[in-house]
Amino acid sequence: ETGVTQTPRHLVMGMTNKKSLKCEQHLGHNAMYWYKQSAKKPLELMFVYNFKEQTENNSVPSRFSPECPNSSHLFLHLHTLQPEDSALYLCASSQLRPGNEKLFFGSGTQLSVL
């Protein structure tokens, strides 16, 4: 148990569906992240939120829409996805400390787009 909970663990959706991934951290951290991990590829950073404000969008297509209502919760809203978006989506949180930050990851949501 890392203190970062992601739901659902598995999700299958069609290309016309709308779904949301949820992440919750119980660690009192002030930064949250979304990462994507495609099969046999390194993790790719998607979004960064510091103190609920989005500070980084790594050229992510608009069919992925993040939402951070407070420092403990992070959502990733999905719509009109493509089969190549099938991947493991990982949420992480950290306490902002230059150089010494440790990221705590959830177990991820395994997404399949049909």
Partner 1 sequence: DAKTTQPNSMESNEEEPVHLPCNHSTISGTDYIHWYRQLPSQGPEYVIHGLTSNVNNRMASLAIAEDRKSSTLILHRATLRDAAVYYCILRDGETSGSRLTFGEGTQLTVNP
Residues in contact with partner 1 by the rule CB under 8 A: 2, 4, 31, 33, 42-43, 45, 48, 50, 55-56, 58, 90-92, 94, 96-108
Shortest gap between Cβ of 45 and partner 1 (angstroms)? 5
Q: Which is nearer to partner 1, 78 or 92 (CB)?
A: 92
| Residue in the block written with tokens 């990982």 | 90
Shortest gap between Cβ of 21 and partner 1 (angstroms)? 13
d(CA 104, CA 1): 10
Shortest gap between Cβ of 1 and partner 1 (angstroms)? 11
Shortest gap between Cβ of 51 and partner 1 (angstroms)? 9
Q: Quick one: which H or E segment has residue 79?
A: strand 73-79
d(CA 107, CA 96): 21
Note whether 3 and 62 are within 8 A (CB). no
Q: Which is nearer to partner 1, 81 or 91 (CB)?
A: 91
25 beta partners = 4
d(CA 21, CA 102): 23
